[in-house]
């Protein structure tokens, strides 16, 4: 079993560079299936397990994929398969994003129901509603969702009940090859949506309004390969901002875009954190005393749900009572119990968590319940007394590249270890004692 062991007490100092955005590269890679001519060359791609998974999905659909030196080259010009099987899709929910491109290219898509982080129900009804509005017949059964249409999809006016990022992306990619105009209302406004629209337009699509509440798409007959650099990962940037603040450190985060994390910057400044936008990146200087604040997760440009658990770690060290309300996902407080194991003064009240601080955190063995929780527990370990051991690192590896090494480079006392050797040594010792 792999664990990350953190010994708390070190202030972080130095410079760290964030990778390309996981939440941007996955829909972009899925959308490469739309190009019936030429190759797509995607750069600034992070070497994450989710990226390897989506690449396997693309290969299974008969695309040629080469991934090296943070660049993915995809040739999807051959006839595509229509089915994405469970063996790949089960690893990652974002695999459902191949459905829109497949339906647009092939008029038929059959995708296994997805896996990934177990955060609430995360339904895909909004995706399917959009496909049906464009003329597809959708069926769900036997662990698969299937969509078919006679000929091409038809442009439609579609209203999303909730500004779902995944639904916005999937319907966008389906609509770019549809006949006529598609108007999407109440859509997600995240920077990753804008990045996807820029990529689609570079391939020859006609997408307007990304980043606003309404997106207008004029369908075209075909798309061709292009070059595209993925935007920086705002959640990784935010995670290192919290790492600097919680340790009273002084860190410059390179390749971060302040406009993408304005709500986080505002909340951290409210807590007393000194944040300076410099030419090299964002400098974060942690104060001696953090102030308690309340925050509520919201769709962009509100506070990002993917920064909720990291901020919980930070607020545990703030003076006074803080409250976090989660409005985007249900059941996203599983990490609160792990913080309690570290002596965090924390109480769950429905969709809110109340923290009385500052808590004197103590090292403990804790489990990453999901991707961002894993990062948050490591952040808490940076300021806990003694050793903190974080397990279930498979979640962490889905969203962070060399996380412990980057923290070590800033001065953290942290290592990643495999304890199989120790267990084997214990077994060998036991066996030798038996035979003695």
pLDDT tens track for 78-117: 999 999 888 877 777 778 999 999 999 999 999 987 654 4
Buried b (16+ CB within 10 A) or exposed e, 320-331: eebbbbbebbee
Residue-averaged pLDDT of the chain = 93
Spatial contact of 148 and 111, defined as CB atoms under 8 Å apart: no
Q: Is residue 370 marked as binding? A: no
Does the 22-229 domain belong in CATH 3.65.10.10?
yes
For 6-57, write each residue's pLDDT tens digit: 999 999 999 999 999 999 999 999 999 999 999 999 999 999 988 999 999 9
* E-only strand ranges, 233-383: 250-254, 274-277, 281-285, 290-291, 294-296, 318-325, 346-349, 352-357, 365-367
Spatial contact of 303 and 297, defined as CB atoms under 8 Å apart: yes
Which residues does the annotation mark as catalytic? 117
Q: What angle do CA 187, 188, 192 make, to 5 degrees?
A: 135
Q: Is residue 401 marked as binding? A: no
User: pLDDT tens per residue, the chain (436 residues)?
Assistant: 899 999 999 999 999 999 999 999 999 999 999 999 999 999 999 999 889 999 999 999 999 999 999 999 999 999 999 998 888 777 777 789 999 999 999 999 999 876 544 434 447 889 999 999 999 999 988 888 899 999 999 999 999 999 999 999 999 999 999 999 999 999 999 999 999 999 999 999 999 999 999 999 999 999 999 999 999 999 999 999 999 999 999 999 999 999 999 999 999 999 999 999 999 899 999 999 999 999 999 999 999 999 999 999 999 999 999 999 999 877 678 899 999 999 999 999 999 999 999 999 999 999 998 989 999 999 999 999 999 999 999 999 989 999 999 999 999 999 999 986 444 444 544 454 444 4
Report how far residue 411's alpha carbon sits from residue 85's, in angstroms, rounded to the nearest whole number: 43
Specify the residue for token string 């080469």. Answer: 66
Task: Please tell me whether the peptide bond between 358 and the residue prior to it is cis, using omega within 30 degrees of 0.
Answer: yes
The candidate with the shortest Cα–Cα distance to 255, out of 229, 235, 280, is 280
Q: Is residue 306 marked as binding? A: yes
Report how far residue 267's alpha carbon sits from residue 264's, in angstroms, rounded to the nearest whole number: 5
Structure tokens at 241: 């901002």
Q: Is residue 55 marked as binding? A: no
3-state class (DSSP) for residue 43: strand
Instruction: For residue 271, list its beta bridge partners.
Output: none
Spatial contact of 184 and 214, defined as CB atoms under 8 Å apart: yes
Report how far residue 358's alpha carbon sits from residue 346's, in angstroms, rounded to the nearest whole number: 11
Report DSSP state, residue 393.
H
pLDDT at position 422 is 47
Return the C-alpha torsion angle 412, 49, 302, 319, nearest 10: -30
The H or E element spanning position 79 is: none
Spatial contact of 399 and 234, defined as CB atoms under 8 Å apart: no
The H or E element spanning position 208 is: strand 206-208
pLDDT at position 420 is 64
The H or E element spanning position 98 is: none
Q: Is residue 125 marked as binding? A: yes
Spatial contact of 378 and 364, defined as CB atoms under 8 Å apart: no
The H or E element spanning position 144 is: strand 144-148
Please report, for the chain, the start and end positions of each structural domain, with discontinuous segments joined by +.
2-19+232-421, 22-229
CATH architecture of 2-19+232-421: Alpha-beta prism (3.65)
Q: Is residue 341 marked as binding? A: no
Residue 68, sorted as left (phi over 0), alpha (psi -120 to 50) or beta, turns out to be beta
Q: Is residue 93 marked as binding? A: yes
Specify the residue for token string 């600097």. Answer: 244
Q: Is residue 227 marked as binding? A: no
Characterize the bridge pairing of strands 39-43 and 227-229: parallel
pLDDT at position 47 is 96
pLDDT at position 329 is 78
Instruction: For residue 184, list its beta bridge partners.
Output: 158, 215
Q: Is residue 124 marked as binding? A: yes
For 163-184, write each residue's pLDDT tens digit: 999 999 999 999 999 999 999 9
2-19+232-421 shares its CATH topology with 22-229:
yes
Structure tokens at 297: 């997760």
């Amino acid at each position: 079993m792999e664990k990350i062991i953190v010994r708390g007490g070190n202030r972080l100092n130095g410079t760290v560079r964030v990778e390309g955005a996981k939440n941007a590269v996955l829909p972009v890679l899925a959308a490469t299936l739309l190009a019936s001519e030429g190759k797509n060359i995607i750069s600034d791609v992070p070497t994450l397990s989710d990226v390897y998974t989506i690449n396997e999905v693309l290969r299974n659909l008969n695309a040629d994929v080469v991934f090296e030196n943070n660049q993915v080259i995809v040739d999807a010009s051959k006839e595509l398969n229509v089915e994405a099987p469970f063996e790949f899709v089960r690893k990652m929910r974002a695999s459902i994003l191949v459905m829109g491109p497949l339906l647009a290219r092939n008029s038929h898509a059959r995708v296994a129901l997805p896996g990934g982080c177990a955060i609430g129900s995360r339904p895909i009804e909004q995706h399917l509603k959009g496909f049906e509005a464009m003329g597809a017949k959708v069926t769900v059964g036997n662990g698969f969702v299937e969509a078919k249409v006679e000929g091409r999809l038809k442009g439609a006016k579609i209203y999303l009940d909730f500004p779902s990022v995944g639904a916005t992306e999937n319907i966008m990619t389906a609509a770019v090859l549809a006949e006529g105009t598609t108007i999407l209302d109440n859509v997600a406004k995240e920077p990753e949506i804008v990045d996807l629209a820029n990529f689609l337009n570079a391939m020859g699509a006609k997408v307007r309004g990304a980043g606003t509440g309404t997106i207008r798409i004029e369908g075209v007959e075909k798309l061709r390969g292009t070059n595209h650099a993925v935007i920086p990962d705002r959640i990784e940037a935010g995670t290192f901002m919290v790492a600097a603040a919680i340790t009273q450190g002084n860190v410059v985060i390179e390749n971060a875009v302040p406009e993408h994390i304005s709500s986080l910057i505002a909340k951290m400044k409210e807590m007393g954190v000194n944040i300076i936008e410099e030419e090299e990146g964002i400098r974060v200087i942690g104060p001696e005393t953090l102030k308690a604040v309340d925050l509520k997760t919201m769709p962009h440009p509100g506070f990002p749900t993917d920064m909720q658990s990291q901020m919980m770690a930070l607020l545990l060290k703030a003076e006074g009572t803080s409250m976090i309300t989660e409005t985007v996902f249900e059941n996203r407080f599983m990490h609160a119990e792990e913080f309690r194991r570290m002596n965090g003064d924390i109480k769950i009240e429905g969709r809110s968590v109340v923290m009385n601080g500052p808590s004197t955190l103590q090292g403990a063995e804790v489990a990453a319940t999901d991707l961002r929780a894993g990062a948050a527990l490591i952040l808490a370990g940076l300021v806990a007394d003694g050793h903190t051991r974080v397990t279930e690192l498979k979640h962490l590896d889905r969203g962070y590249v060399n996380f412990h090494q980057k923290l070590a480079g800033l001065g953290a006392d942290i290592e990643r270890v495999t304890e199989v050797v120790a267990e084997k040594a214990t077994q060998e010792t036991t066996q030798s004692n038996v035979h003695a």
